[in-house]
Amino acid sequence: MNNSSKLKLMFVVASRPNFMKVAPLVKEAQTQGIKFSIFYTEQHKSELMTGIFAKELGLPDADYNLGLKSKVKGTSKLRKGFALINSFNKARKIIRKDNPSCVVVVGDVISSAYIALVTRSLSLPIAHVEAGLRSFNNKMPEERARKIIDKFSNFLFTPEKLASNNLVKEGKNPKNIFLVGNIMIDSLINNIKEAEKMEQFKKIGLKKQGYAVLTFHRHENITKRERIKKLLGILDNLSKKIPVVYPLHPATKRQLIKFGLLEEIKSIKNVKLIDPLGYKEMLNLVLNSKFVMTDSGGLQEETTYLGVPCLTLRTETERPVTVEVGTNTIVNLDKNKINSKIGEILEHKYKKGKIPELWDGKTAKRIIEILKNENNTNI
């Protein structure tokens, strides 16, 4: 990477949220005439979950597809082992063939960590966008993934100061840490005008500021029947105060069916179950809502930027700035705390929040400039 004119980047896309994080980087690379490729691990492979996002964000087709979650018959460790070895070898061949100057990995998805390991084995530089975020809950697959990616990355691009501090405490070289802002906000700013025009909430039969949005799909939430039952109790109570719209993630739906709870949630009046939405449709829904209840990291960030109250249905967050500066409150599935905060929201007594530093829509530009600047390369 001694000559920026020869810079070639490989952007890794692993899951649905990754599209929003890669899109601004791709756009900036195109603007600056930088060569790039897109490597899709296919961790979420469906039109419903990913195809819509890629199209509406204007991303070109992927240059490479891994198919990491390939259909392997049987569940034996031997079969899984062979599948993993085959995927590793395939990924290694793809990256070697493409020969990028740097592999750019975003977020905290397991297959992204997998690609970081493969890239490391080839002794190629790795850049991690959203580095340093920590929930300090090692049971979370996302926490383990982000630690692995950070461990092997040469460029650690952080969205907030606390993330940078986390990396320093873990012994990372400060020269490799770059506070660049929040890449998700780049996508939000780039798409908010179109999202505002969509009026998705009206299509669902809702009134502006007259409903709440719910998302609930984290592994630690949906794999435990008692947590889903708690959520249903909270929904039953909440729906008597305000309509709730719930875009149902396929993984959550599978768990609801497994635990025999799908019909129960369907029976709760004033709760509208809908299919997952495209990025702009969801943005329109959030923008016009009274508040959001979620276990999604991205929504914690988006609501903070938009000034929409957010109640996070987890015991912790890897995005503490959304709580300390923004509109987010950690409530877990504590019925009393949730009722108290909803009361504050409905009575217009909830905190207002502010937009954190560098959440200005210029994160992608800062990242690309750093990768171009040979004086800042630490490889």
pLDDT digits (tens, 9 = 90+) for 109-148: 888 999 999 999 999 999 999 999 999 999 899 999 999 9
Q: What percent of the chain has pLDDT over 70?
A: 89
The mean pLDDT value for 39-65 works out to 73
pLDDT digits (tens, 9 = 90+) for 270-306: 999 999 998 999 999 999 999 999 999 999 999 999 9
Q: Can you give the C-alpha Rg of the chain in angstroms?
A: 21
Q: Which pLDDT score is estimated for 43?
A: 54
Annotation says 217 is catalytic? yes
Q: What is the pLDDT of residue 84?
A: 63
Topology of domain 4-181+359-376 in CATH is: Rossmann fold (3.40.50)
Residue 72 pLDDT? 42
Look at residue 233 and tell me whether its pLDDT is greater than 60. yes
Percent of the chain whose pLDDT exceeds 90:
79
Q: Is residue 53's pLDDT more than 80?
A: no
pLDDT in tens, 330-368: 999 999 999 999 999 999 999 999 999 999 999 999 999
- Say how far apart CA 107 and CA 183 lie, in whole Å: 10
Q: What is the pLDDT of residue 1?
A: 47
Q: What is the pLDDT of residue 316?
A: 95
Q: For the chain, what is the mean pLDDT? A: 90
Helix (H) or strand (E) holding 81: helix 77-98
Q: Which two tokens stand for residue 144?
A: 């383990």
CATH topology classification for 190-346? Rossmann fold (3.40.50)
pLDDT of residue 42: 73
pTM over 0.75: yes
Asked whether residue 376 carries a pLDDT value surpassing 60, the answer given is: no
Instruction: Name the residue ranges covered by the structural domains of the chain.
Output: 4-181+359-376, 190-346
Q: 4-181+359-376 and 190-346: same fold? A: yes
Residue the block writes with tokens 């943005």: 283
Model confidence pLDDT, tens digit, residues 65-115: 987 554 444 445 544 454 667 888 899 999 999 999 999 999 998 889 999
* Residue of 61 and 150 predicted with greater confidence: 150
Kindly report, residue by residue over 185-231, the tens digit of the pLDDT.
999 999 999 999 998 999 999 999 999 999 999 988 999 999 999 99
Please return the burial class of 151, using the count of CB atoms within 10 Å of its CB with bins 0-12, 13-18 and 19+.
middle
Q: What does the buried/exposed string (b/e) look like for 103-139 if buried means 16 or more CB atoms within 10 Å of the residue's CB?
A: bbbbbbbbbbbbbbebbbeeebbbbbbbbbbbbeeee
Active-site option among 128, 217, 219, 249: 217
Q: Output 54 or 184, whichever has higher pLDDT.
A: 184
d(CA 34, CA 13): 18
Q: Which two tokens stand for residue 132?
A: 């340093």
pLDDT at 11 over 70: yes
